[in-house]
């Protein structure tokens, strides 16, 4: 299976995914990394692993749809089976969703539907929850609302800072995201309504 | 410490709290149980343990404030230190909140702020989350929004029914609610803004 990862920043989840493909935790290969940020360290990580790394400048496109269409062309040309968002800071247009139905995943640093959108970790701390976590879900046309594949809880401590909580959540993400991707690769996920059923044999 | 429990139904959390006081898990006594339902089994449970059980019929009061005022009179007469809501199906008016600031607790069968209000368990199942749980919180003037004291996560399985998930959450509730009450009794909870800080020595 061919995976593409879209990332805007540091790419720590991208790294976890690449490592998982090398170790055989994911039976697939990352063949393409796309970023909307020229300086995204995620692009460097791709290059280090001889993975095609592409920067597409949003300023060169008139609309979000135009930009997404250019991304879609690349994804289709490379025969991508699954699109993995890893800290990709752009909302996908319906054009994108329709081009890869049920084949776009995202990870979010909260137990959705709590604290969607930007700054999920900070939102959780501010609210004062005692349990947070992370969520891997399929992407639909709305923000962080798609069918949930996997979730895992993480404790929140009274003396947590945004950084300490983020770190705790990140370390779970780096295990949970590869696991969800492998379930997809193995054909073990079916979507029924807005529920994901996991078929473990 | 004198506790009052307000309940509208079966009272399984009431029972867990009574048991915890008997076993010394809570250093306090339930001295009063109030219900808005004549046939609430919670009232029977109170009587079995020689605890004063009072039914107040909402129809005898012109407004929610009037009803709550009657409840407050009872609570004050008995010198209640902490008001514990256990399946109490009425929203408290500001009159009630102001009479017991920071001294009213509730338990909710979801990881708030996800799935507040009625049918938290059904809402979670319908949404398709993979992790749910329960939340003990102080009550403020809005629905299920007060400062969170304790939360615990519970897994949601693909073949869960509302009943099976509710049962799993309930069994955590019966441990978590007494724990939160005992923290209060021991003076180990302080409220800072909308956060509860737990002072464990």
- Cβ within 8 Å, pair A147-B158: no
**Closest Cβ–Cβ partner in A127, A148, A193 for B130:** A148
- Cβ within 8 Å, pair A113-B129: yes
What is residue A141's predicted lDDT score, i.e. its pLDDT?
Answer: 86
CATH number of domain containing A55: 3.40.50.170
The alpha carbon of residue A57 is apart from the nearest alpha carbon of chain B, in Å, by: 36
In chain B, the number of structural domains is: 2
The alpha carbon of residue B30 is apart from the nearest alpha carbon of chain A, in Å, by: 27
Both B97 and B116 in a single domain? Answer: no
Q: Is A142 left (phi over 0), alpha (psi -120 to 50) or beta?
A: beta
Both A6 and A35 in a single domain? Answer: yes
CA–CA gap between residue A33 and residue A83 (Å, rounded): 10
B200 lies within 8 A of chain A by CB: no
Other CB atoms within a 10 A radius of the CB of residue B72 amount to 19
Other CB atoms within a 10 A radius of the CB of residue B13 amount to 23
Q: What is the ipTM for the molecules in this complex?
A: 0.94
**Closest Cβ–Cβ partner in B129, B147, B193 for A148:** B129
Place of tokens 């939102």: A123
Q: Of the residues B53, B76, B101, which one is the last residue of a structural domain?
A: B101
Angle at B56 between CA B55 and CA B57, to 5 degrees: 115
Residue of B116, B137, B153 to mutate for A, most A C-beta atoms under 10 A: B153
pLDDT in tens, A9-49: 999 999 999 999 999 999 999 999 999 999 999 999 999 99
What is residue B201's predicted lDDT score, i.e. its pLDDT?
Answer: 67
The alpha carbon of residue B24 is apart from the nearest alpha carbon of chain A, in Å, by: 25
Residue B201 CB-density burial (10 A; 0-12 exposed, 13-18 middle, 19+ buried): exposed
Residue A89 CB-density burial (10 A; 0-12 exposed, 13-18 middle, 19+ buried): middle
Strand B148-155, strand B189-192: pairing: unpaired
What is the pLDDT confidence band of residue A182, given thresholds at 50, 70 and 90?
very high
Both B53 and B6 in a single domain? Answer: yes
pLDDT in tens, A125-163: 999 999 999 999 999 988 899 999 999 999 999 999 999
pLDDT averaged over every residue in chain A: 97
Residue A114 CB-density burial (10 A; 0-12 exposed, 13-18 middle, 19+ buried): buried
A112 lies within 8 A of chain B by CB: yes
Chain A (162-191) residues lying within 8 Å, Cβ to Cβ, of chain B = none
Strand A195-198, strand A189-192: pairing: antiparallel
Residue A5 confidence (pLDDT) above 70 = yes
Both B150 and B190 in a single domain? Answer: yes
Both A77 and A132 in a single domain? Answer: no
**Closest Cβ–Cβ partner in B115, B130, B148 for A129:** B148
* Whole-number percent of chain B with pLDDT over 90: 97
3-state secondary structure of B50: coil
CA–CA gap between residue A130 and residue A121 (Å, rounded): 12
- Cβ within 8 Å, pair A130-B150: yes
Both A78 and A23 in a single domain? Answer: yes
Q: Of the residues B45, B69, B101, which one is the last residue of a structural domain?
A: B101
What is the DSSP-derived secondary structure letter of residue B113?
Answer: T
Q: Of the residues A101, A125, A156, which one is the last residue of a structural domain?
A: A101
CA–CA gap between residue B188 and residue A163 (Å, rounded): 26
Both B42 and B58 in a single domain? Answer: yes
Residue-range definition of the domain harbouring residue B127: 106-201
Residue of A128, A132, A152 to mutate for B, most B C-beta atoms under 10 A: A128
pLDDT in tens, B78-94: 999 999 999 999 999 99
What is the pLDDT confidence band of residue A201, given thresholds at 50, 70 and 90?
low
Helical ranges in chain B per DSSP H:
12-23, 41-48, 64-77, 94-99, 120-127, 162-185
Contacts A144 to B, Cβ<8 Å: none
What is residue A197's predicted lDDT score, i.e. its pLDDT?
Answer: 97
Residue of B116, B128, B158, B179 to mutate for A, most A C-beta atoms under 10 A: B128
pLDDT in tens, B39-80: 999 999 999 999 999 999 999 999 999 999 999 999 999 999
What is residue A200's predicted lDDT score, i.e. its pLDDT?
Answer: 83
Q: Which of A181, A180, A156, A178 is nearest to A167 (CA)?
A: A156
Both B53 and B146 in a single domain? Answer: no
CA–CA gap between residue B36 and residue A34 (Å, rounded): 60
Please give the C-alpha separations between residue A69 and each of A51, A55, A76, A105, A148, in angstroms, as whole numbers. 22, 14, 10, 18, 26
Residue B102 CB-density burial (10 A; 0-12 exposed, 13-18 middle, 19+ buried): middle
What is residue A101's predicted lDDT score, i.e. its pLDDT?
Answer: 93
A38 lies within 8 A of chain B by CB: no
**Closest Cβ–Cβ partner in A128, A131, A197 for B158:** A197
pTM for the model stands at 0.95
What is the DSSP-derived secondary structure letter of residue A102?
Answer: T
Query: What does A132-184 look like in DSSP terms, one character per residue?
Result: EEEEEEE--SSTT-SPEEEEEEEE--TT--HHHHHHHHHHHHHHHHHHHHHHH
CA–CA gap between residue B107 and residue B135 (Å, rounded): 6
Other CB atoms within a 10 A radius of the CB of residue A197 amount to 13
By annotation, the residues of A acting in catalysis are 108
Both B92 and B157 in a single domain? Answer: no
Both B79 and B120 in a single domain? Answer: no
Both A13 and A44 in a single domain? Answer: yes
B161 lies within 8 A of chain A by CB: no
Q: Which of B108, B170, B174, B199 is catalytic?
A: B108
Both B50 and B75 in a single domain? Answer: yes
Cis omega (within 30 of 0) for bond into A113: yes
Contacts B158 to A, Cβ<8 Å: 195, 197-198
Q: Which of B186, B136, B189 is nearest to A130 (CA)?
A: B136
A152 lies within 8 A of chain B by CB: yes
pLDDT in tens, B99-110: 999 999 999 999
The alpha carbon of residue B195 is apart from the nearest alpha carbon of chain A, in Å, by: 5
Residue A51 confidence (pLDDT) above 80 = yes
**Residue A111 near residue A132 (C-beta atoms within 8 A):** yes
Mean pLDDT, residues B142-171:
97
B145 lies within 8 A of chain A by CB: no
């Amino acid at each position: 299976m061919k995976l593409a990862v879209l990332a805007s920043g540091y790419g720590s989840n991208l790294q976890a995914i690449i490592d998982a493909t090398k170790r055989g935790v994911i039976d697939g290969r990352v063949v393409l990394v796309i970023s909307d940020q020229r300086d995204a360290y995620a692009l460097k990580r791709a290059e280090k692993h001889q993975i095609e790394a592409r920067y597409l400048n949003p300023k060169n496109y008139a609309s979000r749809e135009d930009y997404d269409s250019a991304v879609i062309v690349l994804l289709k040309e490379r025969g991508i089976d699954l699109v993995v968002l890893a800290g990709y800071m752009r909302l996908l247009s319906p054009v994108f969703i329709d081009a890869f139905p049920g084949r776009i995943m995202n990870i979010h640093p909260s137990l959705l539907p709590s604290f969607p959108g930007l700054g999920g970790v900070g939102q959780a701390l501010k609210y004062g929850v005692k349990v947070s976590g992370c969520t891997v879900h399929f992407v639909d046309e709305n923000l962080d609302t798609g069918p949930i594949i996997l979730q895992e809880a993480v404790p929140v401590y009274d003396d947590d800072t945004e950084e300490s909580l983020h770190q705790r959540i990140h370390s779970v993400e780096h295990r949970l995201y590869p696991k969800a991707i492998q379930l997809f690769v193995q054909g073990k996920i079916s979507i029924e309504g807005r529920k994901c059923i996991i078929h473990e044999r």
